[in-house]
Amino acid sequence: MKMTLDCIPCFIRQALDAARMVSDDPSVHAKILNEVLQWACSVDLQQPAPVIGQRIHRRLRQIVGVDDPYRSAKDHQNRMALAMLPDLRRRIESASDPFDMAMRTAIAGNVIDLGVPGSVTEESIRISIEKCLSEPLIGDPAQFWSAVEKAKKILYITDNAGEIVFDRLLIEKLGPSRVTVAVRGAPAINDATMADAVAAGLDQIVEVIDNGSDAPGTLLSECSSEFRQRFNEADLIVAKGQGNFETLSDEPGNIYFLFKVKCRVVSEHAQIELGSHVVVSRDLYATACPL
C-alpha cells in the first residue's frame, strides 16, 4: 500500500523518537530531524511507508556509527518473551482449540514494536494476549487454517524481536517440516534478524533464511534472489506485522497477514478498526479494498 500525507508527520516524529533511543546527543537528534525534513519535501507518496523507515534507520546507524543500535532492546524483548513461553505453551495445549490459541498468541505478540527496555513490559504483552484471546479476530481464521491444511511450502515472514518467540508457538502448529522462516537481512529498528531467530530457537526446528534487506517490511525488489525464489515457490505465505502488510499487500501470492492494526493510515486503507487483531488474506483484502 502507498503511504499518505499522514505518514509524513508520523515518520518525522518517529525519526526524532528513534534518534533519542540510539543517542543522548541533541546534535544527533537535530541532524536526523533536519535531514528527514528535507527528504520529506520531495517524498514519493507512491511508495510504501517502510521505505522511509528504512532510510531513517539506515542513516541513524550511519550517524551514530553503530550497526545494530537496538540490539540490547531486542535481547531484552527476546528474554521477556522466552520467560513467558512455558506458560503460553501450557495454555495452548490445554485450550479447546490449540491451533486457534497458537495463532492468537502469535498475533498478540505483534504488540512488541519499536520498544526499548521498559517501554514494552511483560504486563503490556499479557494485556495484549488476553485482549487478543477474548475479542473476535478480524478476518477469516477458518480460511487461514484451510489454506494451511492445503499448503506444502509455507514461508513465514517474521516481524519483531520478542514477537518471534511467540511466532514459534504458531510455527510448531503449522508443522515445522514444511515451514521456512524468513527474518530481515540486516538491522531495522527492533525487527527480528537471524540472531533473534536463534534466540527463539527457531533454527532448531525449521530452516531460517534472511531476506537480504534492512527495510522494516518486505520490499521484494530489494530482497535477495534466494528469498524471492522462496517467496515465489511458497504456496502459502504468512506475513507478520504492519510493515509486511504495507509492503506486500499489493504483491501477488497466497499471502495471509497476521498483525495488530497500529496506525490510522493502515486502519483506513484496510477498513479495519485501529487496535484490532487481524488475520486477513491478501485476496480477501484485495476484494474488499480494490485500491
Q: Is 38 in the site for a copy of itself (CB under 8 A)?
A: yes
Which of 3, 21, 29, 243: binder of a copy of itself (CB under 8 A)?
Answer: 29
- Residue nearer to a copy of itself on the CB measure, 36 or 179: 36
- Residue nearer to a copy of itself on the CB measure, 27 or 225: 27
The least CB distance from residue 267 to a copy of itself, in Å, is 17
Q: Is 41 in the site for a copy of itself (CB under 8 A)?
A: yes
Which of 25, 30, 232, 271: binder of a copy of itself (CB under 8 A)?
Answer: 30
- Residue nearer to a copy of itself on the CB measure, 38 or 287: 38
* 5/43 Cα distance (integer angstroms): 10
Residues 6+ apart with CB under 8 A from 146: none
Q: Is 12 in the site for a copy of itself (CB under 8 A)?
A: yes
Q: Is 9 in the site for a copy of itself (CB under 8 A)?
A: yes
The least CB distance from residue 56 to a copy of itself, in Å, is 13
Strand partners, 236: 154
The least CB distance from residue 20 to a copy of itself, in Å, is 9
CA 28: distance to chain centroid?
Answer: 27
Count, residues near a copy of itself per rule CB under 8 A: 17
- Residue nearer to a copy of itself on the CB measure, 85 or 263: 263
- The 10 Å CB-count burial string (b at 16+, else e) for 29-45 is bebbeebbeebeeebee
Return the residue matching grid coordinates 505483534: 110
* 174/241 Cα distance (integer angstroms): 18
The least CB distance from residue 264 to a copy of itself, in Å, is 11
The least CB distance from residue 29 to a copy of itself, in Å, is 6
Residues 6+ apart with CB under 8 A from 195: 71, 74
Using an 8 Å Cβ cutoff, are 108 and 224 in contact? no
* 195/186 Cα distance (integer angstroms): 10
Q: Is 33 in the site for a copy of itself (CB under 8 A)?
A: yes
Tell me phi and psi for residue 36, to 5 degrees. -65, -35
Binding track, positions 149-178, relative to a copy of itself; x by CB under 8 A? ------------------------------
CA 32: distance to chain centroid?
Answer: 24
Q: What is the DSSP letter of 191?
A: B
The least CB distance from residue 259 to a copy of itself, in Å, is 24
Span near a copy of itself by CB under 8 A; candidates 33-41, 81-89, 132-140, 256-264: 33-41
Strand partners, 156: 181, 238
In this structure, the strands spanning 236-240 and 255-260 are: parallel
Interface ranges with a copy of itself (CB under 8 A): 5-6, 8-10, 12-13, 16, 26, 29-30, 33-34, 37-38, 40-41
